[in-house]
Amino acid sequence: MPAGDTIHLAPQTGCGLRLARGETLRVISPTGEQVADVAAFAAADPREWLSSGRTIDYGGSIYVETGTILYSNRSTPLLTITADTAGRHDFLLSPCSAEMFRRLYGVEGHHPSCFENLATHLDPLGIPPDAIPTTLNLFMVVTPDPETGRIDISPPSSRPGDHVDLRAEIDLVVGVTACSAELTNNGALKPIDVEVHRL
Amino acid sequence: MPAGDTIHLAPQTGCGLRLARGETLRVISPTGEQVADVAAFAAADPREWLSSGRTIDYGGSIYVETGTILYSNRSTPLLTITADTAGRHDFLLSPCSAEMFRRLYGVEGHHPSCFENLATHLDPLGIPPDAIPTTLNLFMVVTPDPETGRIDISPPSSRPGDHVDLRAEIDLVVGVTACSAELTNNGALKPIDVEVHRL
């Protein structure tokens, strides 16, 4: 996409795009209180993918913040978080999926989901659905209890206009969604804006 | 492997094996205080892999215990934990790797690692190294701080003979290691025993 343009993601939708090394992906929550899932793959070889496990290990934290480097399964830095006005994000959970809505909420039949939206928009860019790993869930507030391990999912703490900047360290294929899960987003599904900047 | 046989994993080694639906993989820490990493894939299609993100989401916990179902990226139950005498295990971190030893501990040159051991033993079974996801790190004690997100890695709390039983819910390819990271295992690298039972 041309630098400076904005992709407006309607609620429960997603996009896929190519990001060149040095470009910055800005993910904006125009209304606040809305999660955006991000997946990333090396453009040169989509078998290299953004790894929550390596990022948590190398950063020594389950949370990410300004300065956090996001690593691939091959330990390559893929993205660096260069700005973050929101403060809390999740890197523990898979993107929501039709199966998730069925298992956790008893939804029968089709329900829009981040997994479907990522799969739809990444497949034409050479990323098969089975390759979609645990996503970086921007603006999502997931807090584990260190004693029991139980996770608490709270409404996003993001306010209108909060954004996260992620600088590409190599050429990437990226997927971004406006999350489809009602409860995760405090009961109201909202849009997400995506921009590419050359800062 | 024949049911009832034991694979003795020397320190810093690993193995790969096929596990039929209904068989139980028993991972034993004969000395205690030793981590064992486990990876699993659907035998029918190795693009289906054990997913930490889906397991944490569906189970509502970052920890696993007796009764926990371990799900694939396609939301298929792959394994059920049917017994656990140890109590704490990690599902957040990637297997240790040469890159991890270099980045976190400044080790130059070769260092044995769970990633290398999994890659070596899974590749002949049709699993390429890039497909190895975040592993289930049995007996590993990783505790996040819910406020800061920082993780604390403590010595395994397992005692000699502690074991975990994992029942295969479909036909699987499985990799198991005796973890190679000195600090994770309280300074002494120890063996792991692996058995397959038809219970």
Tell me the per-residue pLDDT of A145-171, one tens digit each, with 9 for 90 and over: 999 999 999 999 999 999 999 999 999
User: How much is the mean pLDDT over chain A?
Assistant: 96
| Residue B3 reports pLDDT greater than 80 | no
State residue B144's pLDDT score: 98
Question: Which pLDDT belongs to residue B194?
Answer: 98
Among B140, B165, B139, B168, smallest CA distance to B153 is for B140
Q: Rounding to the nearest 10 degrees, give the CA dihedral for residues B71, B120, A74, B156.
A: 60
Distance CA B43, CA B113 (A): 24
CA B143 to chain centre: 17
Task: Collect all residues of chain A within an 8 Å Cβ-Cβ radius of residue B48.
Answer: 130
Of B57, B128, B146, the CB nearest to A100: B57
Nearest CA to B75 among A168, A99, A26, A105? A99
Q: Is the pLDDT of residue B2 over 80?
A: no
Residue of A nearest to B89 (CA): A149
Phi then psi dihedrals of residue B152, to 5 deg = -110, 125
What is the model's pLDDT at position B82?
Answer: 98
Position B4 pLDDT exceeds 80: no
Query: What does the pLDDT read at residue A5?
Result: 85
Confidence (pLDDT) at B176: 98
pLDDT for res B59: 98
What is the spatial distance between Cα B24 and Cα B171, in angstroms, rounded to a whole number? 11
- Count of A–B CB contacts within 8 Å? 116
Out of B60, B75, B151, whose CB is closest to A150? Answer: B60
Please choose, from the candidates B20, B18, B73, B27, the residue with its C-alpha nearest in 3D space to the C-alpha of residue B50: B73
Task: Pick from A72, A134, A153, A157 the residue to mutate for testing the B interface (most B CBs within 10 Å).
Answer: A134
- What distance, in Å, lies between the first and last C-alpha atoms of chain B? 15
Is A81 a residue whose pLDDT tops 90? yes
With a cut of 0.95, is the ipTM above it?
yes
Taking residue A156's Cβ as centre, other Cβ atoms within 10 Å add up to 27
- Contact check, Cβ <8 Å, B75/A99: yes
For residues B189 and B108, what is the distance between their CA atoms, to the nearest angstrom?
19
Nearest alpha-carbon partner for A43 in A101, A114, A109, A127: A127
Domain assignments of chain B as residue spans, ordered by start? 11-182
- Residues of chain B neighbouring A148 (CB-CB closer than 8 A): 61, 63
Name the residue of chain A whose CA is nearest to B61's CA: A150
User: In this predicted model, what pLDDT tens digit does every residue of B66-103 receive, in sequence order?
Assistant: 999 999 999 999 999 999 999 999 999 999 999 999 99
pLDDT of residue A108: 92
Is pLDDT of A1 > 90?
no
pLDDT, position A82: 98
pLDDT in tens, B161-198: 999 999 999 999 999 999 999 989 999 999 999 999 98
What is the distance of C-alpha A96 from the center of its chain?
11
Please indicate whether, in this complex, the C-beta atoms of B92 and A143 are within 8 angstroms of each other: no
Say yes or no for a CB contact (<8 Å) between A74 and B103: no
Binary contact (B135, A99; C-beta < 8 A): no
Question: Residue range A90-117: average pLDDT?
Answer: 96
Strand partners, A177: A14
Place of tokens 């990001």: A19
Question: pLDDT per residue over B94-134, tens digit each?
Answer: 999 999 999 999 999 999 999 999 999 999 999 999 999 99
Instruction: Pick A67 or B109 by higher pLDDT.
Output: A67
- Residue A3 pLDDT exceeds 90: no
Q: 3-state DSSP call for residue A119?
A: helix
Q: Say which of B58, B62, B133 has its CB closest to residue A144.
A: B62
Do B142 and B52 form a contact (C-beta atoms < 8 A)? no
Q: Which two tokens stand for residue A60?
A: 């020594």
Percent of chain A with pLDDT over 70: 98
Q: Which residue has tokens 């599902």?
A: B91
Does the pLDDT at position A174 exceed 80? yes
For an interface test with B, the pick among A104, A130, A136 (most B C-beta atoms closer than 10 Å) comes out as A130
pLDDT of residue A199: 76
CA distance A97 to A45: 25
Q: How far apart are the C-alpha atoms of A50 and A73, rounded to whole Å? A: 6
Between CA A127 and CA A67 the distance in angstroms is 27
pTM of the predicted structure, to 2 decimals = 0.97
Q: Which helix (H) or strand (E) holds B174?
A: strand B172-177
Chain B residue whose CA is closest to A74: B130
Measure in Å the smallest separation between the Cα of A3 and chain B Cα atoms.
32
Q: For chain A, list the strands marked E by DSSP.
A: 6-9, 14-19, 24-29, 36-42, 69-71, 77-84, 136-138, 141-144, 151-154, 162-168, 172-177, 192-197
Q: Which of A94, A111, A127 to mutate to test the interface with B (most CBs of B within 10 A)?
A: A94
Is A93 within 8 Å of B57 when comparing Cβ atoms? Answer: yes
What six digits make up the tokens of B100? 């991890």
What number of helices (H) and strands (E) belong to chain B?
A: 3, 12
Q: Are A91 and A52 in contact (CB under 8 A)?
A: yes
Distance from C-alpha of A109 to C-alpha of A92, rounded to nearest angstrom: 26
Q: What's the rounded Cα separation, in Å, for the pair A100 and A97?
A: 5
Q: What pLDDT, on a 0 to 100 scale, did the predictor assign at position B126?
A: 98
A136: nearest Cα among A59, A198, A188, A43? A59
